[in-house]
Structure 1
Amino acid sequence: MQGEKEVPSLFPSQKSLTAQLLQTTGKISAKRSYLAVGVLCYINLLNYMDWFIVPGVLVDVTKYFNISDSIAGLLQTVFILCFLMSAPFFGYLGDRYNRKVILSAGIVLWSGVTLGSSFITESVCHLLIWNGLVGFGTASYSTIAPTIIADLFEKDQRTCMLSVFYIFIPVGSGLGYVLSSSVTQTAGHWHWAFRVSLSLSLTAGLPFPSHAPFFQTIDHSSTNTYFFWCDSRSFIWSSLGVTAMAFVTGALGLWVPLFLDRAQVVHDLVPPCLQEPCKSPNSLIFGGITIATGIVGVITGAAVARRYKKINTKADPLICAVGMFSSAPFLYLSIMLAARSIIATYIFIALGEFFLALNWAIVADILLYVVVPKRQSTAVSLQIFVSHLLGDAGSPYLTGVISDALHTRQNDSHLGAFRSLQYSFILCVFIDVLGGGFFLLTALHVEEDREEAQQLCRGFYVHFRLNKFLSANCHYWQFLK
């Protein structure tokens, strides 16, 4: 009977595997866990502010270097390509070594390169190179931070913490537009936007718990679950859904301020910018819209998912599908109505961004419960690699190439420049709908994959406790021999 009472401890059903292992190796206080999440959220804010400094001053940069739409799109593409190429490397390190050290090194690198970018005056090629190095530094953070939160919290609390963490993606993105535009107008030159961003990043400390999560230090010689996430169909389909999200947000994030500026020139609301700094309010307005819709969207998505999961275990991917399908018509209306009403364009952009923001915290939660904990950093890095490679790494450049190709067939006028960029945006609407389809396919497999991940975790936990028992009683086995 005594043996039967100990069975539940070997097969945990309520607490997450990581939480129980942390209790065994050294429990982390709730206060330090929340402090760590607070620091991660602050760095996430700075991370995405840096992402959108260049889009916020794109009108000034294009005028300063006198570049075409395709070259302007390449600025963001090079940044994201370097980011995604280094993500698997940092994911590999995050599963094996001290995550705090990796995060600290990445922040120092990205801060230093951001400062260097502010002194580039001669060639846009130099700006491309330095922008790529910033992407390399930010990859160290983006691949590791969600897995730290997964190590510290479980189930509903984890979903709540992830929603707080992912709120800072749209908030940071919006502040990137606001900061870069405001500083440029105040200082009189776009270079100062990079210097102000650096001063903020230097204030980020790293007071993470001194006890590293268990899965940083386990023996990785066993490969029986190494490719588990490759067999998880819900991981594959949700990653493709995230890729569609990245494609749309990447194209919109770079081009919307410039698109709105061209629309206002066509409406004779503002004069054409002939010399930088260009006094355009669109980066400020679009940044404000991104912040507001991001906060409301992430909170709404997480709250709806938390309640809907109680009656439908497929709630997460279904909500993501609804978000993608709903945003598509609003984005289309915002594109088509830009030639008639700027106010209507702002309204429909806000609605489209709101429905896209529903998914940010949910897609991260899907990954964390369909992939075993000791492979989560690798899975996150793989998802980042695929979503950026096929998503926002190419969408800004592709949009610029399509715009340039269409512009050559139209009159070289302000109306022609506006129309070419307008028509190139329509591709985003189709990708939006395609992403909704990927999330529907995720819903078909998410229950099975979640259960399989839980079974693998339980089996690994038994193996861990058995090894600990044998190690603690090795003198007894020696005596028997």
Structure 2
Amino acid sequence: MRRLISGCDLYSFSDYNNLYSLLFLLPAILPYRQASFNIDDSRIGLIKIAFMSCYVLSALLYGYLGDRCNRTCIMCVGMAIWSVTEFYGSFTPDENFTQFLVLKALLGAAGASFPTIAPSIIADLFVGDQRSHMLYIYNLAAPLGSGLGYVIGSTVTNALGGNWHWALRISSALGILGVLLMIFLVKEPPRGAAEGNSSKSFSLKTWLSDVKQISKNRSFMFCTLGKTTVNFSVGAIGFWAPEFLLRARNILQENAPCQTDVSNYNDSMIFGIVTVVAGMIGVVAGVKIAKRFKKYNPRADPLVCGFGMLGSTIFLFVAFYLANISLVATYVLIFIGDILLMMNFSISADVRLYVVSPARRSTAQAMSMMISHLLGDAISPLIIGEISNLTKRQNPNSALWSFHSLQYALMACAFVVTLGGGFFLLSSFFIEKDREKADMEDKDCVLEEVIVTSP
């Protein structure tokens, strides 16, 4: 029976994570939105920063509540608000950019409930290798959902003659489906159940004391910084790649910037397919490699993450460099670079769970989300757009320099990935001691609760 319930939980988690990743509809319909709102490269990045700023700030509240309240109810409410807001946002007038920003901010505040809490529930259901496998099933939803965002966004918008509003309405309808799945299929497990604790109310510490303890956890903090660089690069590349590939195609064809729907959306669909396949291969490959390597080295998890990112740096840099020479080579190199980059998705999520005691996992997840998103994909589209604008203003106004300005900006992502690889390698020096300390804290928390609750 427990296996059946756990399977339903994972299905619902993965389903909504796919739906949440459909926010990647934005890059797929970026040319139409940019034209509708009449904004430049840097201002279009404000959409992402408005969403992510509220997303990460709300995550702190959800982290606090997730260690103390019913987590399933919190996620259902958050998902419902997210879906309704997304639907309402689809009716935003094209000229009202400010209203669209406000709605995106509300989406961020509501959407943070799910990814903050869901991993801690999975951690309470499974332990060891079984937890690693369940986390990689859960994390498969991210590349699959983001790729579907590109495909659905481009297909629906193209079929309706440029009306991007319906893409958002489809996303909100799927969000309601996610709420229903959560209500009927997901059960609230006891915190720390997988570690042998059956407590219903596990956290006995203040929020500030939890934050202080987590901040001293060096392997957790270095892993979070590594995840920050991943989010920075994935956010920037995911946001700007369809537009970049379109500009590259214009240069290769020696035409003026294309204004037709077909050319706009072919590259979005191809990039979406590349993202889906590369993400799924990368997540599975990372878990399998780490599992085999762990037999010989207990620090395998951060080492696989670090070396994977260092390898990804080379492929991504060369991919952007060759874009105006061969789009086929660019797609192939992005595919390989994405596989290496996404190898860390599930592994790093597992690390951030097992180096922290169950009493603090939701808070730790919230802290990790705040740091990695606020300093990562919340600002990376804006930064890349601003670098592109600065380069463009210093050179002739032409299709060639429109391409080169974005090319040089995206190349910066490769250097950020290199920095992230270094953070993961640093975390490998502390991971064994921090994991042992988390296990000891878990036992102490259970003993303390027994003393407090005993008559």
Q: TM-score, normalised by structure 1?
A: 0.88
1:35-114 map, 5 Å = 35-49=8-22, 51-114=23-86
Structure 2 distance, partners of 1:152, 1:63, is 47
1:202-351 map, 5 Å = 202-204=176-178, 205-206=181-182, 207-209=185-187, 212-213=190-191, 217-218=201-202, 220-221=204-205, 227-268=212-253, 272-274=257-259, 279-351=264-336
> 1:412 is paired with a residue of what secondary structure?
coil
Structure 2 distance, partners of 1:323, 1:245, is 11
Match of 1:24 in 2: none
Q: Relative to 1, partners in 2 of residues 1:277 and 1:140: Cα closer, same or farther, differing over 3 Å?
A: farther
Structure 1 distance, partners of 2:254, 2:76, is 46
1:305 deviates by 1.2
Q: Relative to 1, partners in 2 of residues 1:273 and 1:124: Cα closer, same or farther, differing over 3 Å?
A: farther
Structure 1 distance, partners of 2:276, 2:308, is 18
* Preserved contact between residue 228 and residue 371 of structure 1 (Cα < 8 Å): no
1:225 deviates by 5.6
> 1:338 is paired with a residue of what secondary structure?
coil
Give the alignment partner of residue 175 of structure 1, picking from 125, 148, 161: 148
Give the alignment partner of residue 439 of structure 1, picking from 419, 424, 440: 424
> 2:322 is paired with a residue of what secondary structure?
helix
Structure 2 distance, partners of 1:270, 1:120, is 33
* Preserved contact between residue 63 and residue 275 of structure 1 (Cα < 8 Å): no
Give the alignment partner of residue 92 of structure 2, picking from 98, 106, 120: 120
Match of 2:390 in 1: 405
1:342 deviates by 0.7
Structure 2 distance, partners of 1:211, 1:456, is 20
Structure 1 distance, partners of 2:158, 2:66, is 40
Give the number of the structure whose alpha-carbon radius of gyration is greater: 1
Q: Relative to 1, partners in 2 of residues 1:163 and 1:407: Cα closer, same or farther, differing over 3 Å?
A: same
Give the alignment partner of residue 166 of structure 1, picking from 123, 129, 139: 139
1:212 deviates by 4.6
Query: Does residue 30 of the first structure (1) align with residue 30 of the second (2)?
Result: no
Structure 2 distance, partners of 1:276, 1:64, is 14
Structure 2 distance, partners of 1:36, 1:270, is 51
- Cα deviation digits, residues 33-58 of structure 1 (max 9, x gap): 11111111101110111x20111110
Q: Relative to 1, partners in 2 of residues 1:270 and 1:52: Cα closer, same or farther, differing over 3 Å?
A: farther
Give the alignment partner of residue 184 of structure 1, picking from 157, 161, 171: 157
* Preserved contact between residue 210 and residue 363 of structure 2 (Cα < 8 Å): no
1:210 deviates by 5.2
* Preserved contact between residue 76 and residue 393 of structure 1 (Cα < 8 Å): yes
Structure 1 distance, partners of 2:293, 2:370, is 30
Structure 2 distance, partners of 1:273, 1:125, is 28
Segments of 5+ residues of structure 2 without an aligned counterpart are 192-197
* Preserved contact between residue 312 and residue 337 of structure 2 (Cα < 8 Å): yes
> 1:202 is paired with a residue of what secondary structure?
helix
Query: Does residue 194 of the first structure (1) align with residue 174 of the second (2)?
Result: no
Range 202-211 or range 419-428, more displaced: 202-211
1:459 deviates by 2.3
Match of 1:21 in 2: none
- Whichever residue aligns with residue 182 of structure 1, its letter is T
Structure 2 distance, partners of 1:232, 1:401, is 35
* Preserved contact between residue 234 and residue 377 of structure 2 (Cα < 8 Å): yes
Q: Relative to 1, partners in 2 of residues 1:139 and 1:316: Cα closer, same or farther, differing over 3 Å?
A: same
Give the alignment partner of residue 461 of structure 1, picking from 436, 446, 450: 446
* Preserved contact between residue 313 and residue 337 of structure 2 (Cα < 8 Å): yes
* Preserved contact between residue 215 and residue 374 of structure 1 (Cα < 8 Å): no
> 1:96 is paired with a residue of what secondary structure?
coil
1:271 deviates by 5.8
Q: Relative to 1, partners in 2 of residues 1:270 and 1:215: Cα closer, same or farther, differing over 3 Å?
A: farther
- Whichever residue aligns with residue 199 of structure 1, its letter is A
- Whichever residue aligns with residue 132 of structure 2, its letter is T
1:269 deviates by 7.2
Q: Relative to 1, partners in 2 of residues 1:216 and 1:130: Cα closer, same or farther, differing over 3 Å?
A: farther
1:277 deviates by 8.4
Q: Relative to 1, partners in 2 of residues 1:165 and 1:269: Cα closer, same or farther, differing over 3 Å?
A: farther
- Cα deviation digits, residues 415-464 of structure 1 (max 9, x gap): 11101000111211111110011011100100110111111112223334
- Cα deviation digits, residues 115-152 of structure 1 (max 9, x gap): 11111122222221111211111101110010010011
Q: Relative to 1, partners in 2 of residues 1:291 and 1:449: Cα closer, same or farther, differing over 3 Å?
A: same
Match of 2:195 in 1: none
Match of 1:425 in 2: 410
> 1:444 is paired with a residue of what secondary structure?
coil
Q: Relative to 1, partners in 2 of residues 1:292 and 1:215: Cα closer, same or farther, differing over 3 Å?
A: farther
Over aligned residues, Cα RMSD in angstroms? 1.8
